[in-house]
Amino acid sequence: MTASSIQRFDTNARLSEMTVAHGFAFLAGQVAGDDSADITGQTQQVLAQIDALLARAGSDKSRILRVEIVLPNLADFPAMNAVWEAWLPAGCAPARATVSAQLARPGWKVEMIVTAAV
């Protein structure tokens, strides 16, 4: 594999928002741009960002293979799941893990790391 067969999107000195290689899209952890929103609003923002990134790679949410979800407060689990389940196409649930951990900014209520087929 050559460096030219790897695509990097929105790259800075620290990370790329997405890398695409060998038919897979790997998204960096996605967090809300507006951290003043509640868990419902932040989850909606994150899912919209995932939709936009996957579209740039030529993929979509029906092709998500794996998602890792980080919640600092597990009390937010039911509300986050309600938004997630409304967004996800029927029959397309990926492998998924949800963990509780502190995020880099105190206002962030959810972070999602996605791997999808392209």
Residues sharing a CB contact under 8 Å with residue 32, sequence separation 6 or more, in sequence order: 41, 42, 45, 46, 108, 109, 110
How far is C-alpha 115 from the chain's CA centre? 8
Integer Rg of the chain from CA: 14
Q: What is the pTM of this model?
A: 0.94
Give the max Cα distance, the chain. Answer: 45
Q: What is the CATH number for 87?
A: 3.30.1330.40
Q: What is the pLDDT along the chain (118 residues), one digit of tens a residue?
A: 556 699 999 999 999 999 999 999 999 999 999 999 999 999 999 999 999 999 999 999 999 999 999 999 999 999 999 999 999 999 999 999 999 999 999 999 999 999 999 9
Predicted local confidence at residue 55, as pLDDT: 98
- What is the extent of the structural domain holding 105? 27-117
pLDDT value of residue 71: 98
Say if 83 falls within a structural domain: yes
| Residue 14, domain member (yes or no) | no
**For residue 56, is it within any domain?**
yes
Domains identified in the chain, total number: 1
In a domain, residue 87? The reply is yes
Q: Is 61 a member of any domain? A: yes
Position 5 in a domain: no
Predicted pLDDT of residue 3: 60
In a domain, residue 2? The reply is no
Asked if residue 99 belongs to a domain, the reply is: yes
